[in-house]
Amino acid sequence: MTAKKWTLTALSALVLTACGGGDSSSDSGGNNGSSGGSSGGSSGGSAPQITLNTVTSNWCGIEKPKAGVDVFVHNSTGEIIAEYVTDSNGGLTADWPSNAKHLTLTANNQSYYNDLPTLTVISNVDVEAGDQGITYFWDDNDQAGCDCKYVEFPVQSLIADAPDSRLYLGGSSYELTPFSSSPTVEWCDGAGTMDVQLIAADGQSSLGGSIDLTNKTEYALSLNDFTHEGVAVDYVNPYDARILYALSFDGWRNYSQDDLVFVYPTLTNKSYVWPARYGQEYIGNATADSYSSARHLVTAEGATSPIMLWDPANGYSDAVYALFNEISTGKAPYQYDFTGISNVAMTHMTLSGDIDNGDAEWTIWGGASGSMPDLKLPTALDAKFDSLYSARLQIGVRGYGSEKPLSEWRKLLLERSVMEDNEISVLDYETNYMRLSFDLDQ
């Protein structure tokens, strides 16, 4: 990994068949004349099929179907053998050829902090026929149904009743001192209620609540808004973990390096603790930024399952280096093996960077170990990734506390994607994640 061109070549092979998390769009000059360009089509008959849905989440989390997502089917060597497009309802039912092996989806995402879109490519390797679940995209420029406005929160009553405490409005926090001004927060009615919490001045107790801000631009907070007692999380933040979060998918979170963090079991049953650690690792001649984290469900008593953050030095760095050596041979398919790390379920490789009309990201998802071919992309799409600047490569591994075949993890991910309340599934009880990130311009 001493040269950018070599690294990009390696990444191109990995992105198409090893792992990833993102969108993948692939149009290759090696198309073997399948159903090129068809939209949600199927030849009928008894041929195996795939079904999938694509959804866009807007600024405040309102979801709607995403039409026009390009879907590419690859054979075992990575060539594109079928091309489809999701219909006006974001759906696709299509034939799965007998020699089909891998699947790629691609479309644009739009982030609020970028004027231009993010070209997103998501590839999954070793795919089986059947339902593929829901793939999510986002468009932060779309505020339809959000009804966003700025809400002012007079806090003088709280300052009088709970001096020197800390107020949390969603994810933002404020010290309540005699000189504190009233905070103003942007909130969208379409996002639902806002979760609030109040941490006592000594940090040893807390109260939480949920307030309705519909059609309000001012809300005077009082102790009456905090009706749920906090339960301290029974977890000591390791000295080398940068920060500890306790949070709920419903909106509130608090965090601390050393102090107690709280959950509110009478307010929500979707409470998690989330320690994380940052560092650096050396892979051959390259320096990588490392990140590892764990997210575990918290019980009503504030307890969690045992948490051990993964360490890149425990076999992970060696597995990444071995993969690079495989790719350096230029002879696909390339073997990868991350099973030496505890309970790895899936791996991903993500190539990202800037392009002339925005930025681009290609993620490939695969199992804990396997064989990756040289996945093909359409000529125009491939050219965009070849021309990336400020390019970055991530290789990550994810686990869910046990060992299962990739097909079983895919079934569980499918089940979670279609759950009415998909914020808790067996995949959310305990999750570990670790990645290495390489600056390809170094």
3-class SS letters over 63-126 = EEECCCCEEEEEECCCCEEEEEECCCCCEEEEECCCCEEEEEEEEEEECCCCCCCEEEEEEECC
Amino acid 329: pLDDT: 81
Collapsed DSSP state (helix, strand, coil) of residue 417: helix
| Angle between the N-to-C axes of helices 4-17 and 379-386, in degrees from 0 to 180, rounded to the nearest 10 | 140
Measured between alpha carbons, how far is 150 from 188 in angstroms, rounded to an integer?
A: 9
Q: What are phi and psi of 314, to 5 degrees?
A: -90, 60
Q: What is the mean pLDDT of residues 190-194?
A: 89
Measured between alpha carbons, how far is 442 from 439 in angstroms, rounded to an integer?
A: 6
Measured between alpha carbons, how far is 312 from 280 in angstroms, rounded to an integer?
A: 9
In percent, the amount of the chain with pLDDT more than 70 equals 88
Compute how many other C-beta atoms are within 10 angstroms of the C-beta atom of residue 23: 27
pLDDT tens readout for residues 413-422? 999 888 877 7
N- to C-terminal Cα separation, the chain: 10
Residue 35, pLDDT > 50, answer: no
**Is the Cα torsion angle 325, 327, 328, 330 positive or negative in sign?**
positive
Amino acid 41: pLDDT: 55
Residue 292, pLDDT > 70, answer: yes
pLDDT tens readout for residues 105-146? 999 999 877 789 999 999 999 999 999 999 999 999 999 999
pTM assigned to the model: 0.86
Measured between alpha carbons, how far is 392 from 388 in angstroms, rounded to an integer?
A: 9
Can you point out the beta strands (E) in 250-285?
253-256, 262-263, 271-283
Q: What are phi and psi of 13, to 5 degrees?
A: -70, -45
Confidence tier at 6 by pLDDT (50, 70, 90):
very low
HEC string for 151-201: EECCCHHHHHHCCCCEEEECCEEEECCCCCCCCEEEEEHHHCCEEEEEECC
Give the contacts of 397 (CB within 8 A, at least 6 positions apart): 310, 316, 338, 341, 344, 346, 347, 348, 368, 433, 434, 435
Strand pairing category for 228-229 and 206-211: antiparallel
- Out of 9-13, 261-265, 290-294, least confident range: 9-13
- Out of 97-101, 112-116, 259-263, least confident range: 112-116
pLDDT winner (highest mean) among 10-19, 59-68, 229-238, 254-263: 59-68
Task: Point out which residues pair with 296 in neighbouring strands.
Answer: 273, 430
Measured between alpha carbons, how far is 247 from 261 in angstroms, rounded to an integer?
A: 9
Structure tokens at 226: 């905090």
Give the contacts of 98 (CB within 8 A, at least 6 positions apart): 47, 48
Strand pairing category for 100-109 and 70-75: antiparallel
Confidence tier at 179 by pLDDT (50, 70, 90):
confident
**Is the Cα torsion angle 374, 380, 381, 386 positive or negative in sign?**
positive
Amino acid 294: pLDDT: 92
pLDDT tens readout for residues 82-98? 999 999 999 999 999 99
Give the contacts of 141 (CB within 8 A, at least 6 positions apart): 59, 110, 112
Mean pLDDT over each residue of the chain, to the nearest integer: 85
pLDDT tens readout for residues 330-379? 788 889 999 999 899 999 999 999 999 899 999 999 999 998 888 999 99
Measured between alpha carbons, how far is 278 from 293 in angstroms, rounded to an integer?
A: 9
Amino acid 283: pLDDT: 87
